[in-house]
Structure 1
Amino acid sequence: MSHDVRAWLEDLGLGRFAETFAENGIDLDLLSELNNEDLKDLGITRLADRKRLLKAIAGLMRATHLTAIPSPSTSEGERRQLTVMFCDLVDSTALSSTLDPEQMRDLLLAYQATCALVIDRYDGHLAKYLGDGLLVYFGLPRAHEDDAQRAVSAGLDIVEAIALLNRDLFRKVGVELAVRLGVHTGLVVAGEMGAVGAREEMAIVGETPNVAARLQSLAAPNALVISSSTQRLVGGLFSYEDMGVHQLKGVARPMQAWRVTGERLTESRFEALHPGRPFPLIGREEEVNFLLRRWERANQGDGQVVLLCGEPGIGKSRIAEALIERIADLPHIRLRCQCSAYFATSALYPFARQFVQAAGFLPTDPPAIKLNKLKQVLAESGQAVPEIASLFAGLLSIPVASHYPRLELTAESLKQRTVTALVDRVLGLAARKPVLIVVEDAHWIDPSSADVVAAAMDRVRDSRVLILITYRPDYIPPWSGPHLTMLTLNRLGHSQAADMIGALAAAKAPPAEIIQQIIAKADGVPLFIEELTKAVLEAGLADDETGCERSGELRLSVPMTLQDALVARLDRTAGTKEVAQVAAVLGREFSEALLTAVFPPNRDALTEALDALVQAGLLLRRGSPPQTNYVFKHALVQDAAYGTLLLTSRQQLHAHTADVLERQFPEIAEAQPELLAHHCAAAGLYDRAISYWQRSATRARERSNYVEAEQVLTAAVALVPQLSEEARKRTELDLQMALGAVYRAIRGSGSPQTELTYRRARALCEEVGDADRLLEVIYGQFVGAFNRPKLHDAERYAREFMEIAQQDHNASALKVAEYLIGSTAFLLGDLVRARQHLEDSLRLDSADRMHVNRYSHGQYPTFPLTYLAWTMFALGFPTQGQTLAGEAIAVARDRSEFYYAMALSNDCYLHHMCGDCTAVETNIATLVDLAAKRGIVVFHAVARLFEGWTRAIRGAPEDGIDLMHDALARIAATEQKVEHPYKRSILAETCLRAGQWSEAEKQLDEALRLVRSTDERWYEAELHRLAAELALAKGDSVSAELKFERALTLSTAQSARMWELRAATGLARLWREAGRINEARNLLAPVLGSFTEGLDTRDFIEAKAILDEVT
């Protein structure tokens, strides 16, 4: 009787039935088969006992269903790259008509035996005799790294063997045989098939055998034809004749065919080195010495950064390891930050991961223990203060409870403080000892971690720090600096590759021909050289007798990928393949705890399999129990192992992994929702995957990591078509809304992506009848039209928004509607109406302006305050305008760095219009930093525009004008087209003052053209006034007077008293010079008299001085 059944019964309080179960042979496997009648037969008479047992059995079966994983195995099948040969006897029908049946039988047996001997020599598998044809597998049941080449060599040898056989046949029966052969390499599913009693253990499914048979039919007698896929694998090992492209029967796509004319001999040049040495570093001394020199400079306080670039498998990690080995005995501190493809959208993942390793967190540690460990780590860098500890506790998702103060920071401030603290940690450690930071696989780095690296690079220049960053060539690193050096790894040359093979093989060096073939196959990639050499050694081909005997027969193929070599090694390492496959599902790096939970066979067997994989060089082990982690030595190894799984097995394993993470590792599910999303998506659990992507996006947006948010939301949107019809529209609406807000933050409100996203969201809103979400969408559409600017479209969206808000009596939406109408009216030049609506908007919101209005995507009330400030200034109330602008900045500063930057940018407009150079300079200092950090091009460009203006004012007009030209070009390249006439006027006025009249005229002409094309008229009067000043500078007083009068007419019509004052001042100055004193006085006096505030402004003082002169 199973002890498990006894324990199970005792747990149920039914242990008295244990002996009955034992006597009747009932174990766990049979429990699911028991029903009510069976329990009666066992003598369980009480109904309650039977009910309790049946209920417990049902629960046990559900639990078994959840925890039992599909163990990927050859019996279930697996995906393999297989080379298939089809060999057919030519004209066998004619032979059978001329020979006695017994003679024919003997002939066929001789033919089959001859072929079988050759096939066996190349370790092929003769799968089927199909009449007078043979179906042969190369790579099943045991794979080799050179299966394609084995098949082609065997085919050529069969032709030669049949020629030898013909001598005997002709002598005995007077006939000669001829064969046709076809070979193709492709993907198959291999495993058991067939009904009970007729099982076929190594059947294959796929078009590969059919293609091989069809290629055979193209061959001439005693010829071998191969496909392009096989030809690519064997490459230059053979000579070929191009047979052109053929449409093969039963094959959808046309296929290129090649006739193999013979083997191409290669020259041997290399010998082996001594045995017993570890994996050697060959051909990289120059690179390692370079790194050591950079380390010495860093030791002397001259901080260094090295970017180490190379293709996968080229040896980047090995070189980093060599540096670590060389300085192991020297005093230093090492920080190793491993980026991950799974966490490329997880902000600061490599640094958080390094922190967890440094602190030695255990899964069983309660928060208090983790905080103590964290404090110890921080003490090493002099950061053991409550505020920093609380900051890092947040990064590591450790609840602080009452241990540390809760940081009341905006998401952007939290992110920046975290970045700064991480860099401070490096500098604190460097004050104790030299620091080596290795950032591995930066091609998977998340944007926030890239920001940390950038900040660290900037601050370590005078510190004892070397930063070594490895990445692949398809990644363009965003970092630069005078202390940064880029180092690109090239492939090894032939002699270096031979040295490496010799060092790996040592005394068991393969024959020279095999060495040559490894070199040809590896193409100078150290990973390929390493793995192929080990595969040859494990296959026993380096033995003196066996190797020499077979070296002339074996031809290693040139691999397209590492898949063949990995499968070959897994096939030869008993009991590890399934473990490697499951581990590949978990990721490049995985914990033994997670693997054990996902793949729960005998623990000792699992440990032995992991040990074997480590011994074989496929895995690296880090840490010690219970915190043992494993890493696939190379990402390609993981990919290859993953590729052998059946698609259904992959899905089941990903689903099971997601379930295990949710149930047994909730802290991972909480901190890394993108990891759960990955597994759910791969499992076909699309609704769960989308839910986790949404969680990940929310986390990213809360920390202002908009780039990461875009990535995960885009991934989620791609899964929407997989959902049911009922869930599809609602889910996509949620995603499109979130994506629209993200696009607005990083690409601009007027970008095509933003417009298309909101257009799609609107269609979805209307389909599902969601009026409340429709308001948010219309707001997004309004902002896009507003910023392009398509002002009449914006006005239409604003009216739509108002109508819905009024119909629904939605007070929150009504104040936004007033703002939309008012801001549009401002741009159109209807300043009085703009003031009315903007004031109404803020009046409705006066109770709580710090509240985030859901319909305005965070822009309310900063924007209505800003536009009312500009409106009041233009209307002649500059003091009120300054007050409103200050309030806008205060609100934005507390909301987020993004909106703070936007408010500062807008505030520069007002200070420029006031002529306050100092205030503009103050804003710029902060704005440049915020815009650069957030990566917002338009804000950065606006800051540079105003910086150019301040430089010109401070006496450097040429530098200022150059900077302004560059800034305007950058602004024009963005999707933010609104307020461009005003921005061009700033350059025009600066050029006018610098005497660059032609450029000033060009900028004013373009600004007025934009006014006409967009109807953005709020600054139109000022453009005409500046044109008048330009005409006056040129000595054309007649034209100047007309332009001043045009400016007056426009400003008066708009009630824009500030623009009216400026135009009147300019015209009065002109008339004064012409002796028209009374006209000048009569023009200027009433305009000045209308002002009730701003009497100390530059414009008022200048106008008052002229009026005094003409009075």
Structure 2
Amino acid sequence: MLGEAVGLSRFDARRADSLSALVGRQEEIDLLLRRWNQAKSGAGRVVLISGEPGIGKSRIVESVLTRLEDEQHSRLRYYCSPHHAHSALYPLIVQLERAADFEPGSSADARIDRLEALLAPATKNLTRDVALIAELLGVPSDGRYPALAISPQEKREMTLNALLNQLSAGTVQTPGLIVVEDAHWIDPTSLDLLDAIAARAANLPLLLLVTIRPEFQPSWIGQPHVTLLPLGRLGRSDSAGIIDDVAGGKPLPEPVVEQILSRADGIPLFVEELTRMLIEQELLREASDSEGLEGSRRSLAIPATLQASLAARLDLLGAVKDVASIGASIGREFSYELIAAISALPPVDLDAALERLTASGLVSRRGSPPQASYTFKHALVQDAAYVAMLRSRRQQLHADIANTLIESFPALAETQPEIVALHFDEAGRVREATDHWIKAGRLAHARWANREAANFFERGLRCLATLPQTRDTMEQAIDLRFDLKTSLFPLGQFARIVGYLREAEALARDLDDPGRLCLASVHMCQTLSLSGHPQDAVKFGRDAHRLAEQLGELSHRISASLFLGLACFSTLHYGESESHYLNVLELLDGDARLRQFSLAGFPAVTAHGFLARIYADQGKFARGIAHGEEGIRLAEAVDHPYSLGIVSWCFADLLASRGELNRAVVVLERGLAVAREWNLPFLVAGNSGSLGHAYALLGRTAEGLPLMEQALRVFEKMGHRFAQALFLSPLGEAYLLAGRQADALRAAGQALTLARENGQRSGEAAALRLLGEASSGGSSPDQAEGHFRAALALADELDLRPLAARCRHGLGKFYLKAGCPDQARDELVAAATMYREMEMRFWLVQAEAELSGLPDSLLHGSHNPV
């Protein structure tokens, strides 16, 4: 496990007597202890403790942890922060650094030693995991662990798997307890890891406690091993118990208690802070007769809100309040080193101020200066200290913090540039903020943290828009939009991408910049192809191709040909598509075929894969098989999972179309395993959907249908309309094979509508054939012939020979059922002839079997070769 988190709680740093008693939560504590007992037995549990700010979520967690101190178990705690809501894996990074216990100023070599000791007990590949975690923490490996030659996406998945395996390993010897606090501020990558932990917890001796605000709704709420524990406000008697505890057990005057109860309205933190504030204001005084505390004769100035009460407590601290404001500008947690570098106070005065701030209970301390760190008691305390400042003071502090991070904490500034960007942004230093947002976005994308990267790029774009529109800023604005496309594309955010690319195109035209205009058109061509706008994609692709040829830049020529080939494939311009993919292979002569050109997949592999698809649709199977096999060979040579997943999907679809189903299954099962291992959602869906279709054709519909249905859901969620149209007709065919005719008709109708909307004429022909198959055995057989004929006419027009053969095969079966043996014979003979010419043996056997059932008199004298 990644280290015992003893001493890491913000409660641990506070004196026990500074915490008020926990009252009114016994039912919740009992439930959590029951879940712990269940988890210890191996039936892992997840509990989401939900409530509004100040309701006591962390206090309940602390109470449970205290009760479990005498039980043997491993324990980890993670804290999320609003300042780091888009910093990938921030809670994990903080925990790793603390667990490794790096010595201040220690060398990289010494830190690597600590990481080895930390990770070794739970890893099966120490070299790989140390390299990954060292890079995550910004620790140079000094050559001991060379950087892994893998893509950002592969690195992300390896890192998440390494972290997940470390977490799981902690439950091998003893039960595990993991606490994630303030998960409503969790960054997207950490949320992915939390999702995986929550799923895995069901089969581990593990209790996962997560504190959240009600607006946070993770996807695993409602699962059998997950409990949602909402916290309500306290009743009057429990609130009075807190007042009594804070007042030292001495009775308060009834009017005072009534006012506190009325204002606090059952929020524990508000009850506690109001009581402390009144005591500190000396509006309450201890009676000389020791009978208790009595109210002052003058009117009590009781704040109306929790925020106001916290502000009032800070006001009572006098000059110390300025130190609190500096800390609040840094964040929920701040180090002694950083605040000392920013504060103008002499060290002795700063130490005294921090000590008084800690004694007030508003801030807790861990460690001793100069290695101490401080944490505000609650996010609301930090907010109160922050908003109390004038805007000019806040801006100056943020500028000081940003400059100090760069000058005095360069390692942190390099590994977390978004923190520097945030402070420059808040300081109104727009130029510096823009540069650091861009740096943060590119670093996040390099870690395949695409949601975080997109957020940083968008913040950079907003800053850039406030700067004068010079040529440099306009060029940067275009490049930022390209960065946004790169980050949003894996997320399927096509509408947002198109919007940014149209802006980039307009800016490039204003600048008369053919290079950037070419790239804008390339990106637009790819995006529109996959989002179901192939005709528009062809237009942009041809523009990109023309510009690329004029510029002569190899990378531009490769990208333009590759994506124009995809657009032409989508619109059935097969001749043009073929020529562009062959052009890619010509441009990538020799060792150049082993270059990636900053694309998601190796272009040579992609070209071979799509050439296999083109030749499959045309019935030129021998050519297609040659390209498919070469694509597989190249993908293996470059050892690139994404490329292997793409070419496996394309090649296997060719094999399935020809009827080599068992071979297709082998290729797809391997492609699916690779896509799952590397968490490539698009390729998981593609390979699993095609695998499901192959299973269905082999009679394994019970296995195939769930795979196809899940693939379609993924494509719908990602907005891949092109892929949706490709899969709906095969899904309908699988429904027919399973005897689910109504579902088949529904899928066929959806496929036809989507194909026509997308301009995918091959998809339209496939959907019409499916409508014929589904109608011929249903209540509208009279419509079946029309569907088959329309599909056949379209297939013949487009030279889709395998599809045309299957249309004739379907017509033959329809005529057999309709009692039209002459017409049945003609269509079945035509289908069998085409199957034989294209060596589609799987379908040929079926057609020949149906022909053999016809009377000899019909076959005699016909051109049937059977």
Instruction: Give your verdict on TM over 0.5.
Output: yes
Cα displacement (A) at 1:340: 1.5
Aligned to 2:136: 395
Cα displacement (A) at 1:469: 1.3
Cα displacement (A) at 1:514: 1.3
Within the alignment, does 1:1074 sit opposite 2:821 as a pair? yes
Cα displacement (A) at 1:619: 0.6
> Rg bigger for which structure?
1
Q: Superposed, which structure 2 residues align to 1:144-163 within 5 Å?
A: none
Counterpart Cα distance in 2 of 1:650 and 1:831: 62
* Structure 1 alignment gaps of length 5 or more: 1-274
**Residue deviations 1:216-263 (CA, integer Å, cap 9, x gap):** xxxxxxxxxxxxxxxxxxxxxxxxxxxxxxxxxxxxxxxxxxxxxxxx
Quick one: structure 1 residues 1001 and 479, their matched pair in 2 at CA, closer, same or farther if it must change by over 3 Å?
Answer: closer
Q: Which amino acid aligns with 1:818?
A: S
* Structure 2 alignment gaps of length 5 or more: 1-15, 853-862
Cα displacement (A) at 1:1003: 4.3
Cα displacement (A) at 1:1033: 5.0
Cα displacement (A) at 1:640: 0.7
User: Which residue among 462, 474, 485 is the counterpart of 2:227?
Assistant: 485
Kept in 1, the 8 Å contact 2:606–2:643? The answer is no
Q: Superposed, which structure 2 residues align to 1:13-162 within 5 Å?
A: none
Counterpart Cα distance in 2 of 1:985 and 1:387: 43
User: Which residue among 530, 541, 544 is the counterpart of 2:286?
Assistant: 544
Kept in 2, the 8 Å contact 1:830–1:1018? The answer is no
Cα displacement (A) at 1:667: 0.7
User: Which residue among 683, 689, 704 is the counterpart of 2:433?
Assistant: 689
Kept in 2, the 8 Å contact 1:829–1:1017? The answer is yes
Aligned to 1:313: 54
Counterpart Cα distance in 2 of 1:569 and 1:1078: 94
**Residue deviations 1:456-482 (CA, integer Å, cap 9, x gap):** 333344444322211111211233543
> What secondary structure, in the 3-state scheme, does the structure 1 residue paired with 2:87 have?
coil
> What secondary structure, in the 3-state scheme, does the structure 1 residue paired with 2:328 have?
helix
User: Which residue among 88, 101, 114 is the counterpart of 1:360?
Assistant: 101
Q: Name the TM-score, length of structure 1 as normaliser.
A: 0.68
Say which structure is richer in helix.
2
User: Which residue among 877, 894, 902 is the counterpart of 2:620?
Assistant: 877
Counterpart Cα distance in 1 of 2:103 and 2:55: 35
Counterpart Cα distance in 1 of 2:607 and 2:507: 29
Q: Name the TM-score, length of structure 2 as normaliser.
A: 0.86
Quick one: structure 1 residues 704 and 278, their matched pair in 2 at CA, closer, same or farther if it must change by over 3 Å?
Answer: closer
Segment drifting more, 431-440 vs 949-958: 949-958
Quick one: structure 1 residues 781 and 294, their matched pair in 2 at CA, closer, same or farther if it must change by over 3 Å?
Answer: same
Counterpart Cα distance in 2 of 1:1081 and 1:373: 73
Counterpart Cα distance in 2 of 1:1065 and 1:1001: 19
Quick one: structure 1 residues 633 and 1058, their matched pair in 2 at CA, closer, same or farther if it must change by over 3 Å?
Answer: same
Quick one: structure 1 residues 995 and 297, their matched pair in 2 at CA, closer, same or farther if it must change by over 3 Å?
Answer: closer
Say which structure is richer in strand.
1
Counterpart Cα distance in 2 of 1:1000 and 1:382: 48
> What secondary structure, in the 3-state scheme, does the structure 2 residue paired with 1:470 have?
strand
Q: Superposed, which structure 2 residues align to 1:972-983 within 5 Å?
A: 972=716, 975-978=719-722, 980-983=724-727
Q: Which amino acid aligns with 2:865?
A: V
Quick one: structure 1 residues 289 and 883, their matched pair in 2 at CA, closer, same or farther if it must change by over 3 Å?
Answer: farther
Cα displacement (A) at 1:621: 0.6
Within the alignment, does 1:344 sit opposite 2:75 as a pair? no
Segment drifting more, 393-402 vs 640-649: 393-402
Quick one: structure 1 residues 932 and 417, their matched pair in 2 at CA, closer, same or farther if it must change by over 3 Å?
Answer: closer
Kept in 1, the 8 Å contact 2:260–2:271? The answer is yes
Aligned to 1:651: 395
Cα displacement (A) at 1:1069: 7.5
User: Which residue among 839, 863, 868 is the counterpart of 2:611?
Assistant: 868
User: Which residue among 12, 26, 34 is the counterpart of 1:285?
Assistant: 26
Within the alignment, does 1:506 sit opposite 2:251 as a pair? no
Kept in 1, the 8 Å contact 2:123–2:165? The answer is no
Kept in 2, the 8 Å contact 1:277–1:506? The answer is no
Within the alignment, does 1:663 sit opposite 2:410 as a pair? no
Kept in 2, the 8 Å contact 1:673–1:696? The answer is yes
Within the alignment, does 1:1110 sit opposite 2:855 as a pair? no
**Residue deviations 1:98-157 (CA, integer Å, cap 9, x gap):** xxxxxxxxxxxxxxxxxxxxxxxxxxxxxxxxxxxxxxxxxxxxxxxxxxxxxxxxxxxx
Quick one: structure 1 residues 625 and 370, their matched pair in 2 at CA, closer, same or farther if it must change by over 3 Å?
Answer: farther
Q: Superposed, which structure 2 residues align to 1:268-307 within 5 Å?
A: 278-307=19-48
Quick one: structure 1 residues 797 and 386, their matched pair in 2 at CA, closer, same or farther if it must change by over 3 Å?
Answer: closer
Q: Which amino acid aligns with 1:350?
A: P
Quick one: structure 1 residues 867 and 575, their matched pair in 2 at CA, closer, same or farther if it must change by over 3 Å?
Answer: same
Counterpart Cα distance in 1 of 2:771 and 2:321: 80
Counterpart Cα distance in 1 of 2:627 and 2:356: 71
Within the alignment, does 1:442 sit opposite 2:197 as a pair? no
Counterpart Cα distance in 1 of 2:182 and 2:548: 51
Cα displacement (A) at 1:689: 1.4
Quick one: structure 1 residues 377 and 518, their matched pair in 2 at CA, closer, same or farther if it must change by over 3 Å?
Answer: same
Q: Which amino acid aligns with 2:458?
A: T
Within the alignment, does 1:529 sit opposite 2:274 as a pair? no
Aligned to 1:756: 499
Counterpart Cα distance in 2 of 1:294 and 1:904: 45
Aligned to 2:801: 1057
Counterpart Cα distance in 2 of 1:1018 and 1:280: 71
Q: Which amino acid aligns with 1:827?
A: S
Aligned to 2:519: 776
Q: Which amino acid aligns with 1:871?
A: I
Q: Superposed, which structure 2 residues align to 1:1002-1021 within 5 Å?
A: 1003-1021=747-765
Counterpart Cα distance in 1 of 2:832 and 2:650: 32
Counterpart Cα distance in 1 of 2:507 and 2:245: 64
Q: Superposed, which structure 2 residues align to 1:696-711 within 5 Å?
A: 696-711=440-455
Counterpart Cα distance in 2 of 1:902 and 1:343: 35
**Residue deviations 1:665-711 (CA, integer Å, cap 9, x gap):** 01100111111111110011112112112122112212221111122
Kept in 2, the 8 Å contact 1:510–1:543? The answer is no
Within the alignment, does 1:828 sit opposite 2:575 as a pair? no
Aligned to 1:736: 481
Kept in 2, the 8 Å contact 1:302–1:464? The answer is yes
Counterpart Cα distance in 2 of 1:988 and 1:428: 44
Q: Which amino acid aligns with 2:172?
A: A
Kept in 1, the 8 Å contact 2:461–2:480? The answer is yes
Q: Which amino acid aligns with 1:828?
A: T
Quick one: structure 1 residues 950 and 453, their matched pair in 2 at CA, closer, same or farther if it must change by over 3 Å?
Answer: same
Counterpart Cα distance in 1 of 2:109 and 2:706: 58
Kept in 2, the 8 Å contact 1:911–1:920? The answer is no
Quick one: structure 1 residues 565 and 933, their matched pair in 2 at CA, closer, same or farther if it must change by over 3 Å?
Answer: farther
Kept in 1, the 8 Å contact 2:18–2:361? The answer is no
User: Which residue among 450, 475, 490 is the counterpart of 1:745?
Assistant: 490
Counterpart Cα distance in 2 of 1:460 and 1:349: 22
Kept in 1, the 8 Å contact 2:492–2:720? The answer is no
> What secondary structure, in the 3-state scheme, does the structure 2 residue paired with 1:361 have?
coil
**Residue deviations 1:170-189 (CA, integer Å, cap 9, x gap):** xxxxxxxxxxxxxxxxxxxx
Cα displacement (A) at 1:511: 2.1
Quick one: structure 1 residues 1037 and 731, their matched pair in 2 at CA, closer, same or farther if it must change by over 3 Å?
Answer: closer
Quick one: structure 1 residues 923 and 346, their matched pair in 2 at CA, closer, same or farther if it must change by over 3 Å?
Answer: farther
Quick one: structure 1 residues 1034 and 611, their matched pair in 2 at CA, closer, same or farther if it must change by over 3 Å?
Answer: closer
Kept in 1, the 8 Å contact 2:284–2:294? The answer is no
Q: Which amino acid aligns with 1:735?
A: L
Counterpart Cα distance in 2 of 1:955 and 1:1070: 21
Counterpart Cα distance in 2 of 1:863 and 1:444: 39
Quick one: structure 1 residues 1037 and 501, their matched pair in 2 at CA, closer, same or farther if it must change by over 3 Å?
Answer: closer
Aligned to 1:175: none
> What secondary structure, in the 3-state scheme, does the structure 1 residue paired with 2:532 have?
coil
Kept in 1, the 8 Å contact 2:715–2:723? The answer is no
Cα displacement (A) at 1:863: 4.1
Cα displacement (A) at 1:740: 1.7
Aligned to 1:611: 355
Q: Percent identity?
A: 31
Counterpart Cα distance in 1 of 2:805 and 2:441: 51
Counterpart Cα distance in 2 of 1:1014 and 1:276: 68
